[in-house]
């Protein structure tokens, strides 16, 4: 069992299993921090018949899936995701990646787990910021595939955030506020994503849609990794900002108003998520668009001086467009 060190209280449920605890942060999700896990597997005598279970959030499942995919050219593995982001998105689809320097998921594999066990009950002890980060991925999925589910999810996460602000907890005694509604939303997310992955495992077409919000998000995460200059940002928070920026780019390119971008800002903001580009800790100035563009040029989706962007005009009205950087620079000149 490869497990997030923050989940040691779950060890009693895995009696008889050998447990490898790992630190979980984007700074720790690096190739050099994967090697000690492989050393431990060798020390434990794990052979090609080994079965690896990743227990934790998206970083844990990324590392567990990557290790299982490369150890002795591949061993069996599965996931028990314990965050909303991992249940709705990260643990589904077979992408197993680690970071190199400040570039996200630049080293990795596409290899499917044998199973993923998803249960809303394990989210009851999840800190509110991590829960909100997962809400961004849920809303992203429904922007792509389901207008009615988007409306339901936006309303639910707004209610949940209001409940937390009043009570200081996500739980109402019997479980998470609206837990049955949450389980249904997670199940729909899993259904949509697994369907896309089945049709386009290696991201040649339809699967690229799942990158909605992630192009700007990865650039924001890269810039915010500059310790001391910007506050750390969670992946889901960056995706929230990235979706709003992508909607603004869509409006510029398609000659539309910023109506959907403003709706996204409202819905994400009511869910407790950030919707503006982060500001510096010392100068209070927003990240310069030039810095984000520089990071975008090093994105793995770059192709021949252009980059793939997923552009939302409205729920279920999304296009995949390859935008040349000179055109993107013009669009983003006064984008905030």
- The residues that are catalytic are 73, 95, 137, 193, 203, 207, 211, 214, 218, 235
Distance, in Å, from the CA atom of 175 to the CA atom of 120, rounded to the nearest integer, reads 9
| Residue 41, phi-psi category: left (phi > 0), alpha (psi -120 to 50), beta (remainder) | alpha
107: phi then psi, degrees, rounded to nearest 5: -120, 125
Distance, in Å, from the CA atom of 227 to the CA atom of 225, rounded to the nearest integer, reads 6
Burial letters 64-100, b for 16+ CB under 10 A, else e: bbbbbbbbeeebebbbbbbbbbbbbbbbbbbbbbbbe
Distance, in Å, from the CA atom of 63 to the CA atom of 328, rounded to the nearest integer, reads 33
Q: Is the dihedral of CA 258, 263, 264, 270 positive or negative?
A: positive
List, in sequence order, every beta strand (DSSP E) within the chain: 2-4, 20-22, 51-56, 76-81, 95-100, 103-110, 302-303, 306-314, 317-324
User: Residue 212's CB: how many other CB atoms inside 10 A?
Assistant: 25
Token match 């563009």: residue? 293
139: which residues sit within 8 A by CB, 6+ positions away? Answer: 150, 153, 154, 157, 243, 267, 268, 271
Q: 42: which 2 tokens? A: 């060798």
Answer whether 176's CB lies under 8 Å from 165's CB: no
């Amino acid at each position: 069992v490869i497990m997030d060190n923050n989940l040691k209280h779950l060890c009693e449920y895995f009696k008889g299993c050998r447990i490898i605890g790992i630190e979980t942060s984007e700074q720790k999700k690096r190739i050099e921090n994967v090697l000690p896990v492989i050393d431990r597997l060798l020390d434990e005598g794990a052979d090609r018949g080994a079965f690896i279970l990743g227990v934790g959030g998206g970083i844990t499942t990324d590392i567990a899936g990557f290790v299982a995919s490369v150890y002795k050219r591949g061993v069996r593995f599965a996931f028990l995701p314990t965050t909303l982001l991992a249940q709705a998105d990260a643990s589904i689809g077979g992408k197993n990646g680690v970071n190199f320097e400040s570039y996200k998921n630049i080293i990795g594999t596409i290899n499917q787990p044998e199973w993923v066990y998803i249960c809303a009950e394990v989210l009851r002890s999840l800190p509110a910021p991590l829960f909100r980060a997962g809400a961004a991925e849920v809303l992203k999925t429904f922007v792509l595939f389901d207008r009615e589910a988007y409306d339901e999810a936006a309303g639910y996460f707004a209610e949940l955030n209001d409940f937390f602000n009043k009570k200081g907890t996500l739980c109402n005694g019997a479980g998470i506020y609206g837990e049955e509604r949450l389980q249904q939303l997670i199940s729909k997310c899993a259904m949509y994503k697994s369907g896309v992955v089945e049709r386009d495992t290696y991201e040649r077409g339809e699967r690229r849609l799942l990158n909605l919000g992630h192009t700007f998000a990865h650039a924001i995460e890269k810039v915010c990794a500059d310790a001391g200059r910007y506050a750390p940002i969670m992946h889901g928070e960056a995706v929230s900002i990235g979706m709003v920026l992508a909607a603004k780019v869509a409006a510029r390119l398609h000659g539309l108003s910023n109506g959907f971008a403003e709706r996204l800002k409202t819905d994400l903001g009511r869910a407790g998520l950030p919707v503006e580009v982060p500001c510096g800790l010392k100068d209070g100035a927003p990240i310069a668009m030039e810095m984000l563009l520089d990071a975008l040029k090093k994105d793995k989706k770059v192709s021949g001086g252009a980059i793939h962007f997923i552009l939302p005009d409205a729920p279920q009205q999304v296009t995949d467009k390859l935008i040349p950087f000179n055109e993107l620079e013009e669009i983003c000149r006064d984008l905030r």
